[in-house]
Structure 1
Amino acid sequence: MSLGKTIIAKEVIDRVRNLRQEKHDDIFRVVYVRSNVNIVHQNTKNLGIDKQLNISESRLSMQLL
């Protein structure tokens, strides 16, 4: 907790976005893997991810149960 992982991830995403825009190809994917769907919903706004898949509980997200 509170190690700055989200801030670092945001910086990486921003740098990739800028590199892609320089090449006039601003399409890229961000794969964000977390053990908790709630954390994903909280952090996607902080990460600047505008479009996201409709994430719901799945077998993969429930494996810890």
Structure 2
Amino acid sequence: MSEQNTYQVSGMTCAHCVASVTEEISEIPGVESVDVTLETGAVVVTSAAPVAREAVADAVSEAGYTLV
């Protein structure tokens, strides 16, 4: 069964930002999908197993943004 978690990311301003965050989070093992809403900064991560918040924070940081 898939698990869904919602995070808030600050600093995104355009479609390129969304693509960068999506790409980095998608590389985390077990992540099945990433849905980013630019206007609110909401990021919904669907995964096969629980994903550590630190892993998501690291991926967001790698993309150049901040997990709130």
Same fold (TM over 0.5): no
The structure with more helix, counted as a fraction of residues: 1
**Greater strand content:** 2
Structure-1-length-normalised TM-score? 0.31
Q: TM-score by structure 2 length? A: 0.30
Higher relative contact order (CA 8 A, sep 6+): 2
From the CA coordinates, give the structure whose radius of gyration is larger.
Answer: 1
